[in-house]
Amino acid sequence: GENVEQHPSTLSVQEGDSAVIKCTYSDSASNYFPWYKQELGKGPQLIIDIRSNVGEKKDQRIAVTLNKTAKHFSLHITETQPEDSAVYFCAASETGGFKTIFGAGTRLFVKA
């Protein structure tokens, strides 16, 4: 069945460094790729997304890239801050998002 693999499971960086989280997906019909941030004690929050007709999207310190041929997409966080510490989930779905497959999550620690 459809699958989304996410790596690494844990990532520790120094404040100010960059963090990269990578995902691969298996369903060729997937065309919508959101990223969620889940802080301790809260529900996941959508932070950025990308659609298959775009190769890259940026919003301030976060960016997402998509290689549809290779079925890879990545989250890039630059100039990391302690408040970036959280669990990040990638996901893949078809337009409408009614069947969304989530990655296993990456626990990011940003050390001050």
Site residues (vs other proteins, CB under 8 A) = 32, 34, 36, 41-46, 49, 51, 89, 95-98, 100, 102-105
Q: Which residues pair with 25 in a beta bridge?
A: 4
DSSP-derived pairing of the beta strands 101-102 and 45-51? unpaired
Q: 42 or 112, CB closer to other proteins?
A: 42
Q: 55 or 97, CB closer to other proteins?
A: 97
Least separation, in Å, of the C-beta of 59 and other proteins? 13
Least separation, in Å, of the C-beta of 37 and other proteins? 11
Q: 63 or 79, CB closer to other proteins?
A: 63
Whole-angstrom CA distances from 25 to 18, 44, 50 are 23, 20, 14
Whole-angstrom CA distances from 22 to 7, 34, 81 are 5, 13, 20
